[in-house]
Structure 1
Amino acid sequence: MSRIREEELWIPKTKLGELVKEGLIDLKRIFQNNLVVKEKEIIDILLPQLREDVVTIKMIQKMTASGQRSRFKAVVLVGSDGFLGVGAAKSREVGPAIRKAIDKAKLSVVPILTGCGSKECGCDGSHTIPFRVNGKCGSVRIQLIPAPAGVGLACADKVKQVLKLCGIEDIWSKTFGDTRTSENLVKATFDALKNAHKFNFNI
């Protein structure tokens, strides 16, 4: 079934969903009023250009009374220029784990603040972030630093994966802790990008 057909058959369960389906509210007003998105179809309608990217898929095991139980855990990014979401989910099979993670990532989508906060550059573009931001998840801490145009993404591969998806082209980074844990590194980067809005009053 196509996405357009699914949207036509969608019956909203929340007041926000009803407003979105009737075309009475847009994404900017949702974030300005800090409204909570509880249905993934809201994001499907308002951000049809959203892209998906799988970060990691790993097998996890749990010992129970009947023996070992194996499941798969997927961490997925969704994003487009100026928006980003991260989700993680578990299932007995890889496919359902990825689909669940995508749905969770859509519910966590936030706008990403871009600009040019580099003293070396000083342009009015939106190729980097406007100022330094810090993020944390588990033992992993990360600091994202604005970089001048042309530097590129001077950071770890998993951090690049996050930044490329939301349209950031130039950045420097510092990481601390056990950065081999890909999930925590990705979530710490997402946390840093979200923290930029603590200093922005015009989302």
Structure 2
Amino acid sequence: MENNEVSTSANIEEWTPKTKLGKEVVEGKITSIEQIFEEGKKILEPEIVDFLLPGLEHEIILIGGTPGKGGGKRRTPAKRTARMHKSGRRFTTSCLVVVGNKDGYVGVGMGKAPEFRNALEKAIKKAKMNIIPVRRGCGSWECNCGGNHSIPFQVEGKEGSVRVILKPAPKGLGLCASDSVKKVMMLAGIKDIWIKSFGSTQTRTNYIKAVFNALKKLNTIKS
């Protein structure tokens, strides 16, 4: 379990599919997560991912902040905002989560609710429904080993004011990125990579989404 007591996996035995895709999974017509992406189908139930891709892990991205000792900001797992209503202030908690199997699949999701636990559960479910295959390889001219430790070519992603460039790295270099981005790469199964970022990267939500958008392009761009 990662950093909290919320379960990553749903109870499959109690799951009653509500979508056509979910019914096809239960009936055995679809037997792998790869088949879903090959047929271009959209995942609308998180239980589909639990059924076909068991053992997913998740990490919370620290998007909140409180004043630290001696100034500065101390990062927290949730961001809390308030809105004024006739009955007074109402608080909303936001949570950003990354899920993955550390072997080529990763997803990012944002959840909002009055309580942190509910926001976390929503974020995990959305991350599962947003899961994508990550194309890995060795595109570094310094290495060229043919393994799957990095990415096959350079890609770029953008979200809001944040822009990131992901570059292949030689084997053994490691993840040259911030702690938040390292969580995404580790859950995707990427061990070596160069990352260059532009814009307001302190906005963690846009930063992580920009990285996720870049990873998506690995499947759409032909090398």
TMscore range, shorter length: over 0.9
Q: Which runs of 4+ in 1 moved over 2 A?
A: 2-6, 63-68
Match of 1:160 in 2: 182
Whole-Å separation in 2 of the counterparts to 1:3 and 1:64: 34
Q: CA deviation at 1:200?
A: 4.2
SS state at 1:149 partner: coil
Match of 1:37 in 2: 43
Instruction: Identify the match of residue 192 of structure 2 among 152, 156, 170.
Output: 170
Superposed counterparts of 1:53-202, under 5 Å? 53-56=59-62, 57-80=78-101, 81-200=103-222
Q: CA deviation at 1:5?
A: 8.6
Structure-2 change in CA distance of 1:150 and 1:175 (3 Å): same
Q: Which blocks of at least 5 consecutive residues in structure 2 are unaligned? A: 1-6, 63-77
Q: What number of residue pairs does the alignment pair up?
A: 200
Query: Identity of aligned pairs, percent?
Result: 47
Q: CA deviation at 1:7?
A: 1.2
* TM-score, length-scaled by structure 1: 0.94
Match of 2:73 in 1: none
Q: 8 Å contact 2:10–2:50 — kept in the other structure?
A: no
Deviations 1:4-51 (A, max 9, x none): 992122111111111111222121111011101111110000011111
Q: Which range moved further: 39-48 or 152-161?
A: 152-161
Opposite residue 11 of structure 2, the aligned amino acid is E
Instruction: Identify the match of residue 50 of structure 1 among 47, 56, 64.
Output: 56
CA RMSD of aligned residues (A): 1.7
Q: Which blocks of at least 5 consecutive residues in structure 1 are unaligned? A: none
Q: Which range moved further: 128-137 or 18-27?
A: 18-27
Whole-Å separation in 2 of the counterparts to 1:98 and 1:37: 19
Q: CA deviation at 1:64?
A: 2.7
Opposite residue 40 of structure 2, the aligned amino acid is N
